[in-house]
Amino acid sequence: MAGVNKVILLGRLGSDPEVRTLPSGGKVVTFSIATSENYNNKNGEKVEQTEWHRIELWENLANIAEQYLKKGDMAYVEGRIRTEKWTDKEGIERNTVKIRGNTLQLVGGRGRDADENDAVPASSSNNYVPKPAPIPTPPPVEMAGSGSDDLPF
């Protein structure tokens, strides 16, 4: 049976990214993102519900997160849900749910007062482009024999 495991999150970092360097020299970065939902409860009171998501980025995305992300920054992450089982020091089996990110986009400036137009360029699927380059307009192409004398009208 086939399935889809895809997560899309847009939220603020709850902490600075934690960087681990592996024996192989690769990097792993973990951080948490908060997403919030506002609604009115049955008594008409406004309620804000916040969910925390643990994000894990590898290799090039880890390098970008380490360099550019700080607590309070807004980030867009795409990835998949990963559940890890482990045993703690007391021998109790535990589960941890993480989002293994494969796309990262830095959004806006720092903190809640940031202007959304101050967007930092996107990085996705282990690529980072510092600034989008303008797409050049190709010069008009003149085909051989396309002079006005060759026109049928």
Q: What pLDDT, in 10s, does the model give residues 14-47?
A: 999 999 999 998 999 999 999 999 999 999 999 9
Using the Cα atoms of residue 67, residue 70, residue 75 and residue 81 in order, give the sign of their dihedral: positive
pTM: 0.66
pLDDT given at position 125: 47
H or E element, residue 58 = strand 46-58
In angstroms, the CA 142 to CA 3 distance is 51
pLDDT given at position 116: 44
* Domains of the chain (ranges, CATH numbers): 7-39+46-130 (2.40.50.140)
Query: What pairs with residue 99 in β-bridges?
Result: 55, 81
CB proximity list for 102: less than 8 A, separation 6 or greater? 61, 78, 79, 80, 125
What digits encode the pLDDT tens for the residues 72-112? 999 999 999 999 998 999 999 999 999 999 999 988 755 54
pLDDT given at position 108: 76
| Three-state secondary-structure class, residue 66 | helix
- Mean pLDDT for the stretch of residues 55-63: 94
Tokens of 77: 């992450």
pLDDT given at position 152: 61
CA proximity to 57, closest of 94, 86, 20: 20
